[in-house]
A and B are shown apart, each in its own frame.
Chain A
């Protein structure tokens, strides 16, 4: 009897949870699929809810919270961003505010970021399609895999450089952001090279156009390892790519080397930005060198070597 009473009371208590002042009914909550942020004199916010398709809310305010409040008033509902899939913005300074956004609005760490590089989203933009397109680019190893958490984490690295997907008039590419400024936007080759250097998501096949026509290599599995050693005071980073697959491995290996070189040149050498995990690699393999040497000098001095091991 005691057990029955206890269970009944516990069950009744569960029923009371809806009586909490902070509880919000599902119909009174707007679940946001995508957010567009535009910084001008004010913060302009565009919210794209999951449904109905095509519906969006525009609001502005002196700060993001102020714009968010206005959006909630306009929609007549509480705004929930815990499941937001895409956050697009045209002002890199907004990146510095994203950490607070993740905390305040419970933005998902897996939320994708998209920097609008000299372009803007059309009024009738299908943001769900845009998110899916971005994911497809990543899944096919055409651009490196990133998300809010990745970007925030990279932004806290020693040089503060972070790799961000960017949308240009030609399609998706990658930009490097440092603090509140964009250091540069990368070429297609460098972007593909970064996929190999970072090793998070890799393409499923490599096609090399040569004298003998198009040589294909179907990749069944691949992984990248970065290791470093100091030789005559110079840090040498060896990029070892382990490849498994079928096709012309030699041509594929040469192509991977070319792509990696393009990425190293554009990021570490030209933009002086570490978005390949150079700091982690040096900290792990040459901690004394990194402790003694300024990281900027290390980036300037570093030499890369490529080893492609195909099975």
Chain B
């Protein structure tokens, strides 16, 4: 069976979250650090129905086996739209990180090919690849800290006049689109379910806090002018005078993007497979859908916003809550009934 370990689940979701953090283009201040804490606490609360549902033995494949189409199709659409937004974030980010790509479509095509290959190898291989990329992320964080260390100015940690904790909480919560992915992935995870969920949220929070802290204390007055604070931070964080670290950040950025897109592709392809077992080229269809969504969203100029919270609450909390309430009436949705 195509299952992953709880550690691999943690890493895959963490990397997906890290990509969103890299593409952060909202105002940052000390309030954002408090906002991040609140946003992740809220995400943990939103996960409670999901965790209770899986504790009671719920299985998404078993649910799909009962010919329920609406919810899986909504999830597929959600993942495709999030994938499209990820492509857009990559295109926008590439301008700030001097990616050597000539055209956005070629970028999308090449990254799509890599995602397609990774997705075709299955969930297990993808999870293993995530572990390797996680190593890259930790290493790049080390380089970032090393380069930014001398520029940290603690005096810059003071309350901002323009940013509120409430707004920051909503902004960061709107980027927590990995929760619906967690809902699907928990069906394919071995072991106890709460552990990887909590670990993923805690590690993501630590990562967010480190980057926000560095952005505030290193960028100072330049922070409000930075369209993408993380990219400005990387251009400032050059630990060696003889060798620029841009290439390394570039690799990590692209790898995170590949991991995120592959995760969304794998999930939507899996859901498609559950609904239509005879359907072929499911990954190709998912990726094509994402590129199509990116084109439409690009024309509309939409790269996310507070409306994303609705999707997160719906797929990560309300749906699991409804399933939880219905589970006693439908024992066939439980894992045991499918085996």
Contact = CB atoms under 8 A, between A and B. Distances in A.
Contacts of A109: 235-236, 238
Interface string B230-257: 0000011010011010100000000000
Interface stretch (B78-86, B193-201, B219-227): B219-227
A162 to B, nearest CB: 10
A287 B98 CA distance: 38
Interface in A158-188: none
Nearest to A290: B161
B238 A157 contact: no
A156 B225 contact: yes
Contact of B158 (A156, A157, A283): A283
A295 interface: no
Interface in A285-304: 287, 291
A49 to B, nearest CB: 15
B159 interface: yes
Nearest to B222: A153
B3 interface: no
A157 B159 contact: no
A280 B241 contact: no
Given A83-B241, A109-B235, A153 B155 contact: no
Interface size, B (range): 20 to 34
Nearest to B151: A149
Contacts of A248: none
B100 A20 contact: yes
A76 interface: no
A154 interface: yes
B92 to A, nearest CB: 15
B156 interface: yes
Interface residues of A, number: 26
A52 to B, nearest CB: 19
B159 A287 contact: yes
Contacts of A130: none
Interface string B127-155: 00000000000000000000000010001
A291 B236 CA distance: 30
Contacts of A155: 221
B158 A106 contact: no
A157 B241 CA distance: 27
A211 interface: no
A83 B246 CA distance: 12
A106 B249 CA distance: 14
Given A149-B151, A156-B221, A287-B159, 7 more contacts: A22-B100, A102-B235, A106-B244, A109-B236, A110-B238, A157-B221, A280-B158
27 contacts: A20-B100, A83-B244, A103-B235, A106-B235, A106-B244, A108-B238, A109-B235, A109-B236, A109-B238, A149-B151, A149-B222, A149-B236, A152-B222, A153-B220, A154-B221, A156-B221, A156-B225, A157-B221, A277-B155, A280-B156, A280-B158, A283-B159, A284-B155, A284-B157, A287-B159, A287-B161, A291-B161
